[in-house]
């Protein structure tokens, strides 16, 4: 096989691996929405109490309405208060394995489309970065004098979070993300063991 052929195969495998990883991450958020909000959007999680209802919004429901701007890797969660004491709140999670793929303009488009679709301005965008890189944290449209559109998002840089701070966390999302956090090479075995142990503990509690 030529070098070009090998490079193409490696590129396809890398893309397939990234997509599989992204889908697994998305499934984690959908399966454990409360824990995801508590860990990745802590500043907004204080009102998400036991009385709320959290509904994952699958992408199949959004394709026709959002058209070409739809991004499969975005994971929206609708948080509702059945007693009506608060209006519903949309959390939009995006995980980026490769920071070069991140576009703040695309995320802003997506959030605006969701806001229009659900007729709300209560939208919280959350971006989770697995690796270091350069990416915009704010978007400002306007002139020198006036900002006509200002947009930013909650950001979690998993690679900067000390794994040791969450080794015994009761939050399953935090425990399963221990290998994505920062740790010394000699701590690798303990980090992976605690991630697996966290899953076992949750399963035991559910029995």
pLDDT tens, the chain, 207 aa long = 544 444 444 444 444 545 566 778 888 999 999 999 999 999 999 888 888 999 988 654 455 555 554 455 578 999 999 888 889 999 999 998 888 889 999 999 999 989 998 899 999 999 999 999 998 999 999 999 999 999 999 999 999 999 999 999 999 999 999 999 999 999 999 999 999 999 888 766 655
pLDDT of residue 14: 45
pLDDT of residue 204: 66
Tokens of 43: 């500043």
pLDDT of residue 6: 45
From its phi and psi, is residue 119 left (phi > 0), alpha (psi between -120 and 50) or beta?
Answer: left
Place of tokens 């004491």: 85
Question: Do strands 53-56 and 74-80 pair parallel, antiparallel, or not at all (unpaired)?
Answer: antiparallel
Tokens of 106: 């695309």
CA-wise closest residue to 76 among 42, 129, 46, 112: 112
Beta bridge partners of residue 150, listed in sequence order? 140
Place of tokens 């959908």: 30
Assign 70 to helix, strand or coil: coil
């Amino acid at each position: 096989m030529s070098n070009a052929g090998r490079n193409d195969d490696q590129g396809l495998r890398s893309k397939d691996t990234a997509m599989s990883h992204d889908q697994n991450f998305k499934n984690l958020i959908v399966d454990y929405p409360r824990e995801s909000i508590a860990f990745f959007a802590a500043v907004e999680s204080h009102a998400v109490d036991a009385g709320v209802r959290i509904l994952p919004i699958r992408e199949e429901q959004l394709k026709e309405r959002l058209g070409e701007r739809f991004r499969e890797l975005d994971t929206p969660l609708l948080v509702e208060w059945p007693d009506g004491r608060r209006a519903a709140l949309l959390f939009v999670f995006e995980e980026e394995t490769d920071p070069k793929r991140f576009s703040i303009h695309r995320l802003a488009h997506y959030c605006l489309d969701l806001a229009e679709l659900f007729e709300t301005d209560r939208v919280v965008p959350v971006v989770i970065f697995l690796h270091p890189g350069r990416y915009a944290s704010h978007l400002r449209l306007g002139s020198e004098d006036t900002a006509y559109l200002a947009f930013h998002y909650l950001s979690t840089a998993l690679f900067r979070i000390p794994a040791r701070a969450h080794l015994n966390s009761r939050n399953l999302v935090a425990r399963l993300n221990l290998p994505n956090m920062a740790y010394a090479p000699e701590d690798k075995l303990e980090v992976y063991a605690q991630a697996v142990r966290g899953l076992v503990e949750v399963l035991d509690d559910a029995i």
